[in-house]
Structure 1
């Protein structure tokens, strides 16, 4: 299906009771048409920014995104910045509508940069986001088995060669799973995004949403392990 196949009145009716829209950039022309209609209807949009998508496929969607979720490969590919914290800052600078950008990092959990709300205090000296990230990593309790979250306060964050933004950085940890329990991670990213969508829909604060999403993704991994252990095939 292409946008010309769909009447805007029909699309508007389909979105009438939608409170949050999820798009991933596949069928990019149709996804963008849906996103534009949702934007007109003031419906927030979460974009799953996959590294396989080109700028032509994804750029328009990201410009309308309220929330951005991606995996660890996307930030550097999109910004040419190898460090994830600095790349996240650049992404929020490029897309000022985005309330946050979060990157999934597999066994290393996830990282989120959350934009401060309009009207909050901007009169602070900029702080290098790499220093903030390092201080948060030191606060992570490596003895915790279950997912947790550490967060900076809201502050003006900057990176070398970039502007600055009033935001806070959060690191979510993943559940500690023995290597023998890691059989197939297929579906973990989708599970993480599903949990984020649930968190947004229920107004869950990021400090709770990130550990929750990591836990849901971990449950998918362990379910795959249980299936393999009992002799059932796992299909990608």
Structure 2
């Protein structure tokens, strides 16, 4: 993965791979291990998805940008913005526009998206223990190696080291990352799907990733891609099995496939 341009992970992967105790710190540690990646998306199930974009526009001096923890951005800024948007719509009795109609007739609304205003220098939370994280990551690598029948190559499952420790492998650290990881953060909610319409979540993650690839291939803005992916994953959950619930293009609102949301 060290040379990957784009990364999509499940919720548990960053913590398993990096050994970080908190998800926000784990996302940062994952991004630092993968300096070639233009962006990193982490899905979080019913909590939505987090997008970390980099690098900032050419000519940006990282030292002039505000420094904040990713945890603070997600919990104190973007999370409340999403909640306010959803609560406001509910209070006004306004139903979200139908973004998809499943084969069984379930109407699905697109979720909300909130992003930081520009790029920020992202910091780890206070009290983080890098040594403990390293031990946890090593243990996870050993478990992964054993599960894959490759117990003597645990180091190959750890990936490149943290940029903070100066132990990157394969790809040189981008200058835009120093003196700290610089990124733009977007938080996307799940799609608006009635709880009683959920039949089977098998394949929801793959549906999400496939939709992200569609957005990447067609040039959709990343926030719009997140909304599309959430809707497709939700539609899949309305049917039993990994494939039956997947929508066709005709089931999706045209605006969802050609969105100009940024």
Same fold (TM over 0.5): yes
> Which residue does the alignment assign to 1:174?
190
2 CA distance for matches of 1:196 and 1:128?
26
TM-score by length of 1: 0.64
1 CA distance for matches of 2:184 and 2:68?
11
The question of 1:149 aligning with 2:149 is answered: no
For this pair of structures, how many residues does the alignment match? 166
> Which residue does the alignment assign to 2:236?
220
Instruction: Give 3-state SS (helix, strand or coil) of 2:20's partner.
Output: coil
More deviation, 112-121/99-108 = 112-121
The question of 1:192 aligning with 2:232 is answered: no
Cα drift, residue 211 of structure 1 = 0.7
Instruction: Give 3-state SS (helix, strand or coil) of 1:192's partner.
Output: helix
More deviation, 216-225/103-112 = 216-225
The question of 1:132 aligning with 2:90 is answered: no
Instruction: Give 3-state SS (helix, strand or coil) of 1:174's partner.
Output: coil
2 CA distance for matches of 1:217 and 1:73?
18
Tell me: CA distance 1:214–1:125, structure 2 relative to 1, closer, same or farther (3 Å).
same
Runs of 4+ in 1 over 3 A off after TM superposition: 160-163
> Which residue does the alignment assign to 2:20?
81
> Which residue does the alignment assign to 2:54?
115
Over the aligned positions, Cα root-mean-square deviation in angstroms equals: 2.2
The question of 1:100 aligning with 2:39 is answered: yes
- Residue in structure 2 matching 1:158, options 112, 123, 128: 123
Runs of at least 5 residues in structure 1 that lack an aligned partner in the other structure: 1-61, 229-236
TM-score by length of 2: 0.58
Tell me: CA distance 1:222–1:93, structure 2 relative to 1, closer, same or farther (3 Å).
same
- Residue in structure 1 matching 2:223, options 203, 207, 217: 207
2 CA distance for matches of 1:173 and 1:182?
17
> Which residue does the alignment assign to 1:67?
6
CA contact (8 A) 2:9 2:41 kept: yes
